[in-house]
Chains A and B, each alone.
Chain A
Amino acid sequence: MKICSLDDLSKIRNDRRSLNSRINGRSIEDRIEILVGLATCGISSGAKETQLAFENEIKEKNFKNISVIPVGCIGNCYSEPTVQINVPGQSPVIYGRVHVQDVPEIIEKHIRDGIPVDRLALTNPVDNKQMRIALRHCGLINPEDIFEYLACDGYEALGCAVTQMSPEFIIDEVKKSGLRGRGGGGFPTGVKWEITRAQPGERKYIICNADEGDPGAFMDRSILEGDPHCVLEAMAIGGYALGADQGIIYIRAEYPLAVSRLNTAISQARKLGLLGPNIFGSNFNFDIRIKYGAGAFVCGEETALINSCEGKRGEPNFKPPYPAQKGYWGYPTCVNNVETFANIAPIITKGSSWFASIGTEKSKGTKVFALAGKINNVGLAEVPMGITLRELIYEIGGGIRDGHKFKAIQTGGPSGGVISEEYLDTPIDYDNLIEIGSMMGSGGMIVMDETDNMVNIAKFYLEFSMDESCGRCTPCRIGTKRMYEIINKITSGKGTMADLNSLKQLTYMVRDSSLCGLGQSAPNPVISTMKHFMSEYLAFIPDPRAKLKFNVNKHSRKSKKAD
């Protein structure tokens, strides 16, 4: 069976009405649904065993009207395995830490007697602050069943795009929506598509960047594991808009589950004719291939990524030419992040003004953040741009673990910086974060409490950048190493004030002279910890007289020459 028109699509959707109601939080008629979160984090906490236990229990007790459905990440990683139970006529209940031994109790009390098991229920009062666009289906549909995606308006946007809209119109919509790249740079997506479209030549490529190298960020993995079709659909829309008939997903080898779900999704879409020749009966052809990374952070940088796609060492190139001009095998190539793509279909179906009404003046829409570190509710949160860090940490994140005190939050991974308590009320968007010395990055947020030493954190990131430096340009290759050596000397208690000074100078040198974003941003953790937590650096310096001298100089800027 192939889907050749929008009518075919709506027929399929009508046949599966039941699913649509699941998305709205209600199941139909007399069918009870048990959704088990089966993403990497769920599986490693034993969600598969939980799923099996539910299935066995249901068989044993001979229930007829219950289905157990594997879904992606619901977002409450702190309480895996998570299970959501939809009973008709009742609002859905989410349970956390559901292990095999809890299953009979849930079945007996909740499903048979209709009384939720309070002991396990997650009370999440914060959900009203969240707003799900990119994660709209994660945790609600079975990612390995294309019909579940179709039932909740999947591929509708693609169908409308290729049959009713011109490429220029789509680009204009994406531009007007104000969507900016979620991979870190924040470049307007519509503009990137327009530039790529404007390049001469017949052959163009669209690439999905699923390298997600920032340690501590996992939103791209969750999207790919929970809703792979939304990325495929958006890539096809992008391909249509900018004139590419081939897409590539570059994914890191560390994400085996995401790879297998993507492969399943691609072959299902091909079977239904949603990828391949003449999509929706139009003359638009599009297909997607997967390329695998092999463990190099720098391959997340777009020019390095393209080199790696070509099977070469993943070293970055000097820009310009930008990939949009000269990319994969020299052809114009548009590289976008997974989360960027996840926003595309809703923009097409609901319109750019709807999207542009969310967020702040310069940053529209929502952003998915991965909250990790010393925070109670570790997990994913999708919130409108402009929410404050305080709301994110204390309301959605549930505050700091074990009654400790907040000290700092690191955003933007190894390229970003730390943010101290005084900035907690800053509304989060691309520009504000840069202003306070950090950056949005991919959206990983690591919360630190008073037991964390900031110099050690800076050292940790430096070691990361040093290891991951590809070695192509000298400032980054040697500079990160020297900085690491100095900071190591400082933390081992042998540092002097002169070391602190050279460290500071090196940060600016490496930042200003490196070839690619890795080197240019590698000093950021040092710069920002020095700015906000200088006292912790000083505490490592053994000579108290030097300390005194430094403090004097610091407080009277005029005497700088005397230094």
Chain B
Amino acid sequence: MTKPQAIKAAEDRDQPLPEEYFDELEKFIIDMGDTQGALIEILHKAQCIFGYLPRDVQLFIARKLGIPAAEVFGVVSFYSYFTTEPRGRHTISVCMGTACFVRGSDQIIERFKEKLNIESNQITEDGNFTLKDVRCIGACGLSPIVMVDNKVYPRVEEENLDNIIKTYSSEGL
């Protein structure tokens, strides 16, 4: 899904990104040796370290690889897996693949939107949840599927949603 992502001229963050994250990323890049064609792999790693790909991280990667920052942003914005916005502590992914769709996943995501009071690809006010619609995760036999972080919830019904949210809410922990 190539969704347009806003380009920010300046970062509006209060806290700078941790230095040791950059060190870790730099080490990863150096250990790779040959970086030809490795941009996507590096972005995966960077997103794994930082949680998202803010402007500074993209610039950092561009400089390390000696390629234009526009090329990095071009790749980041092309792939739906990469995000330039921070994510909530937990990501709720609702599968919108065909098998899940015909079993009612469109209703499920609507209920989530109501309950969390956000749209998809947004983050809740308390920073706890991000809601995402994803394409088929390959467990179509158990549709409709909801995935929270890496845990898959099979055959979800509307009644289950409160429970899922509660399990991952800050109070619930």
Contacts and interface: CB of A to CB of B under 8 A. Distances in A.
Interface size class of A (residues with CB under 8 A): 35 or more
Contact of A218 (B37, B44, B136): B136
Contact of B40 (A254, A255, A308): A308
Given A216-B136, A292-B40, A44 B142 contact: yes
Interface string A397-430: 0000000000000100110000000000000000
Most chain B beta-carbon contacts within 10 A, residue among A212, A256, A309, A446: A446
Given A295-B1, A468-B2, A44 B139 contact: yes
Pick the 10 closest A-B CB pairs, nearest first. Answer: A77-B141, A215-B97, A44-B152, A294-B79, A215-B136, A372-B99, A311-B39, A295-B81, A295-B80, A294-B81
B103 A373 contact: yes
Interface in B132-163: 134-143, 145, 150-154
Interface string A444-479: 101010001000010011001001111100000000
B81 A80 contact: no
Given A44-B152, A292-B44, A221 B138 contact: yes
Interface string B77-120: 01111100000000000011111111100000000000000000
B141 A218 contact: yes
Interface size class of B (residues with CB under 8 A): 35 or more
B43 interface: yes
Contact of A45 (B78, B79, B138, B142): B142
Contacts of B44: 253, 292, 294
B138 A212 contact: yes
A303 to B, nearest CB: 15
Interface of B: 1-3, 36-41, 43-44, 74-75, 78-82, 95-103, 134-143, 145, 150-154
20 contacts: A40-B137, A40-B152, A215-B100, A215-B101, A218-B140, A292-B40, A293-B79, A294-B80, A295-B80, A296-B2, A296-B79, A309-B37, A310-B37, A311-B41, A372-B140, A373-B102, A446-B98, A461-B98, A467-B1, A470-B2
Interface string A214-243: 111110010000000000000000000000
A311 B37 contact: yes
B97 A216 contact: yes
B44 to A, nearest CB: 6
B32 to A, nearest CB: 12
Contacts of B140: 77, 215-218, 370, 372, 378, 444
